[in-house]
Amino acid sequence: MSREPGQEERGGARRTAAERAAARSGWAVGIATAAYGISFGALATASGLDVWQTCVLSLVMFSGGSQFALIGVLASGGVAAGGSAIAGAALLGVRNSFYALRLSRIIGPGFWRRTAATQLTIDESTAVATAQQEPRAQRIGFWTTGLVVYIGWNITTLAGALLGNLIGDVKAYGLDAAAAAAFLGLLWPRLKARQTQAVAVAAGFVATMLTPFLMPGLPVLAAAAVAIVVGVLNLFGRRSDPPHPEAIPMEREVEP
């Protein structure tokens, strides 16, 4: 068995291209998501938190959905709703535990590495990492996205908190849709198989229907349960569906 001349160089070039693509995705998603921090900073101060409380919340909690759930309940119920606000934020943050299970293999061993990765395990870093096919590209996607979002989110949170009501309605700037649009851009190419389409539709439908009736966090957990059931049982799958990129084994071309 011998390797075809020049194959190693070509393989290296392919890996380099994949890594560059992962880094670009990380920067794009990270910047779009970080911009959303301006709206959080402004809304947090409007809900009764001061600038320092708002910034500490972003530095320590660093989970956009949980942060918005917290200040949303505080804004409607004040200090008396603190218990419900914390419970809702915690429920919504449970999803990151499932992400950690999926990312464990990508992150690799090492106490300090895993400790740092814990703070950066969010929707966006998970999405960018799992969208890549090669292990090193997955790691680059995770760390690039996580760090760009973390640094940018905290900077924009401070800016939004300082500006407060001076910037007016944050929705007028489209910042409330930037992160969702970037996430959808990553998700869309993966919805090729009928099974993945069914999972997305079923989970989205359940979350949408339950949101007006349940406390923040519960609709997301219910949607996750539906996605697991539909996905595990393969209710709408078929053999002709294209396989998930991660299910395709990486094979080298060799000559006999």
pLDDT in tens, 39-81: 888 888 887 788 999 999 999 988 877 788 777 766 655 555 5
Residue 113 — very low, low, confident or very high, per pLDDT cuts 50/70/90?
A: very high
Structure tokens at 125: 């870093």
More confident residue, 11 or 94: 94
Task: Give CA separation, 6 vs 9, 11, 13, 103, 254, in Å.
Answer: 5, 9, 11, 33, 12
Write the pLDDT tens digit of every residue in 182-202.
556 656 766 777 777 788 888
- Does residue 172 sit within a domain? yes
Residue 14 — very low, low, confident or very high, per pLDDT cuts 50/70/90?
A: low
Task: Kindly tell me if the per-residue pLDDT of 145 is higher than 60.
Answer: yes
Domain hosting residue 51, numbered range: 8-188
> Any idea which residue has 């760090």 for tokens?
147
Task: Kindly tell me if the per-residue pLDDT of 226 is higher than 70.
Answer: yes
This prediction has a pTM of: 0.65
* Domain count for the chain: 1
- Ranked by mean pLDDT, which of 4-13, 49-58, 148-157, 221-230 comes out on top? 148-157
- Does residue 114 sit within a domain? yes
Residue partners of 255: CB distance under 8 A and separation at least 6: 1, 2, 3, 4
- Does residue 195 sit within a domain? no
Alpha-carbon torsion 102, 153, 72, 208, what sign?
Answer: negative
Report the C-alpha gap between 127 and 187 in whole angstroms.
Answer: 8
Report the C-alpha gap between 63 and 52 in whole angstroms.
Answer: 17
- Does residue 211 sit within a domain? no
Task: Kindly tell me if the per-residue pLDDT of 23 is higher than 70.
Answer: yes
Task: Kindly tell me if the per-residue pLDDT of 234 is higher than 70.
Answer: no
- Does residue 220 sit within a domain? no
Task: Give CA separation, 136 vs 16, 81, 99, 111, 167, in Å.
Answer: 10, 45, 18, 19, 41
Task: Kindly tell me if the per-residue pLDDT of 167 is higher than 70.
Answer: no
- Please, are residues 106 and 142 in contact by the beta-carbon 8 Å criterion? yes
- Does residue 226 sit within a domain? no
- Does residue 181 sit within a domain? yes
